């Protein structure tokens, strides 16, 4: 039985690969193995299907964000680190998430941006890291949040274009890049006095 979720999954792969303009209902119907009539029964227009893919990708992303931030374990900066890596795993594994990131860029103004499903939490956490003295006093958390957005968008592009071939390589790259970033933003710790 053909379901909306199956069509969203198939469309996610196609939109991720080919973008909005490069994906047609005829291509989607062939890939899904259904008639165009069956496809239009669920989604009357490509824009409607693209919006459903975007929403599915944002929902999957929000679920990861909520899972990481609900834990409450660790400092604010440790939570940002965990979130960066979890988003990397999600980007690598889920073409619908990558499609959502691409579609919100290609269809600007058609709906909420994919980054909006996680970037505000990163900004909030980085603000908390400032308050907790975890960042160097001269570090503004806003550019760090922006850098995080660039990291995620770069990861989406690298996975989409096959630059990351080994499973888990995206997370390994993000871990190393985040480690380098932290060297420049993390407040030095006070040396412990010998006993």
Q: Is residue 117 part of a domain?
A: yes
Reply yes or no on whether the pLDDT at 27 is more than 60.
Answer: yes
Q: 135 - beta bridge partners? A: 186
pLDDT of 188 higher than 90: no
In a domain, 71, yes or no: yes
Give the model's pLDDT for residue 1: 61
For residues 86-93, average pLDDT: 96
Provide the b/e sequence for 144-169 (b: ≥16 CB within 10 Å): bbeebeebbbebbebbbeeebeeeee
96-123 mean pLDDT: 92
Residue 109: pLDDT over 90: no
Residues forming beta bridges with residue 186, ordered by sequence position: 135
127 lies in which domain range?
54-185
pTM of the prediction? 0.90
CB-CB contact of 170 with 159 (8 Å) = yes
Give the model's pLDDT for residue 167: 83
Instruction: Decide if 12 is inside a domain.
Output: no
Residue 82: C-alpha distances to residues 14, 65, 95 (Å): 29, 10, 21
């Amino acid at each position: 039985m053909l379901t909306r979720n199956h069509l969203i999954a198939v469309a996610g792969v196609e939109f991720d690969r080919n973008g909005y303009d490069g994906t047609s209902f005829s291509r989607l119907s062939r890939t899904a193995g259904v008639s165009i009539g069956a496809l239009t029964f669920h989604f009357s227009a490509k824009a409607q299907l693209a919006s459903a893919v975007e929403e599915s990708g944002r929902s999957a992303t929000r679920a990861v964000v909520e899972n990481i931030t609900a834990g409450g374990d660790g400092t604010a900066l440790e939570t940002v680190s965990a979130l960066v890596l979890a988003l990397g795993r999600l980007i690598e594994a889920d073409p619908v998430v990558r499609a959502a990131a691409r579609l919100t860029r290609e269809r600007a103004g058609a709906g909420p941006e994919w980054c909006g499903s996680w970037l505000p939490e990163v900004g909030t956490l980085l603000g908390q890291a400032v308050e907790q003295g975890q960042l160097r006093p001269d570090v503004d958390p806003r550019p760090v949040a922006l850098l995080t957005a660039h990291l995620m968008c770069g990861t989406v592009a690298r996975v989409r274009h096959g630059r990351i071939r080994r499973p888990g390589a995206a997370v390994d790259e993000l871990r190393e890049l985040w480690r380098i970033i932290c060297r420049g933003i993390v407040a030095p710790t006070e040396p412990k006095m010998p006993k």
